[in-house]
Chains A and B, each alone.
Chain A
Amino acid sequence: DAKTTQPPSMDCAEGRAANLPCNHSTISGNEYVYWYRQIHSQGPQYIIHGLKNNETNEMASLIITEDRKSSTLILPHATLRDTAVYYCIVRVAGFQKLVFGTGTRLLVSP
């Protein structure tokens, strides 16, 4: 799997948008970008994934650059409950493993 680079930590004010960047400059054409988050002492929670196009669901939006070398996860209105470690993972289609890096620790403050 291609490696990803994420900032170790970010802060965000409650109610504001949280924009979490991820660099995956060596991504291959058949690799998807997945985002998970892990709240303290819980299992990871699936957020969203995409291949080329931007994606949106009830939790977040995923913006993938045209060259696919980076992406941004957007939480439009962060709440205190969004405080967690966010993992950006690239995975080959049909390849089942997920390799977790160190992620970004997002702290949402009042």
Chain B
Amino acid sequence: GAVVSQHPSRVICKSGTSVKIECRSLDFQATTMFWYRQFPKKSLMLMATSNEGSKATYEQGVEKDKFLINHASLTLSTLTVTSAHPEDSSFYICSGLEGLAQETQYFGPGTRLLVL
């Protein structure tokens, strides 16, 4: 299957700072990438859909000014959590669509964010 990487794998930051998470498709071009968030013992919740060269589409209830998404190339999307607070602590996972018909999402290993 296609490979997606994320960096960093885990990050600890102070409240009020901003954190950037990178998502890369290593062996395919991903016109569309997705960002998910997962709280402990819960399922994945889609935050936003990121399309290369255009603005991201955010799910209802997700603050676009707090979670900045940039998809500047076909292999890289970034999520920046601005002015992070302890309630933003979570497991953030990205995915990319692969295939001629873009039929399958492949996921990164996730980034664990802890805001103190």
Contact = CB atoms under 8 A, between A and B. Distances in A.
Interface of A: 32, 34, 36, 38, 41-46, 49, 87, 93-94, 96-103
Q: Is the interface of A mostly helix, strand, loop or mixed?
A: loop
A96 B59 CA distance: 13
B39 to A, nearest CB: 13
B46 A43 contact: no
B36 to A, nearest CB: 8
Interface in B80-112: 91, 93, 95, 97, 101-110, 112
Contacts of B36: 100
Nearest to B46: A97
B25 interface: no
B1 A46 contact: yes
B51 to A, nearest CB: 10
Interface of B: 1, 4, 6, 32, 34, 36, 43-46, 49, 91, 93, 95, 97, 101-110, 112
B107 A45 contact: yes
A96 B97 contact: yes
Nearest to A47: B1
A43 B108 contact: yes
Contact of A96 (B44, B45, B91, B102): B102
A49 B104 contact: yes
Contact of B44 (A41, A44, A94): A44
A43 B103 contact: no
15 contacts: A34-B104, A36-B107, A41-B112, A42-B109, A43-B93, A43-B109, A44-B95, A93-B101, A93-B103, A94-B101, A97-B46, A98-B46, A98-B105, A99-B46, A102-B43
